[in-house]
Structure 1
Amino acid sequence: NYPNPFNGRTTINYSLRTADELSFQLYNTLGEQIFFEDLGLVQGGIHQYLFDSSNIGNFFLPSGIYFYVFTTSSKRETRKLVLLN
């Protein structure tokens, strides 16, 4: 993702070989899921996901290290991101 560390918003690039159901999850360092979005059926190819830390519910997301996960029907990919408020 870029930028990383980020403040507020970051763009995450990802690719799929073929069309598949896709979801995005965000976890804190305790392994607690703090955000989930079902992205539905996504076509194969290169894509971008814009993550906005101010749009994850009714609470403030503090500065820290987080892990995001893209999940398809056959694969999970995990990466780290750092939020600096």
Structure 2
Amino acid sequence: MEQHQEFTDLQQPALRQTALQHAAVQHWEVTYLDTECDRVRTEAFEDADQAERFAGRQVRDESGWAMIDAVRPRRDRAAA
């Protein structure tokens, strides 16, 4: 039982770090190839799940692609 508790304790810092990383994100940007007009476009989302769903819908065929980027606020422009 102690081994299981130690394993859980090792996982907790990683989970907290991931939560902190998501908290620091200002918004999510999906850059994708619009295959209807062959242009690269970018859309912004406040939620990572929304960004993932949108990116998944943009990859319709073998030539389609999408990338999701987490955009963090710039430190030099932080509010006082």
Shared fold per TM-score greater than 0.5: no
TM-score, normalised to structure 2, is 0.33
**Which has the larger Rg?**
2
More helix by share: 2
TM-score, normalised to structure 1, is 0.32
More strand by share: 1
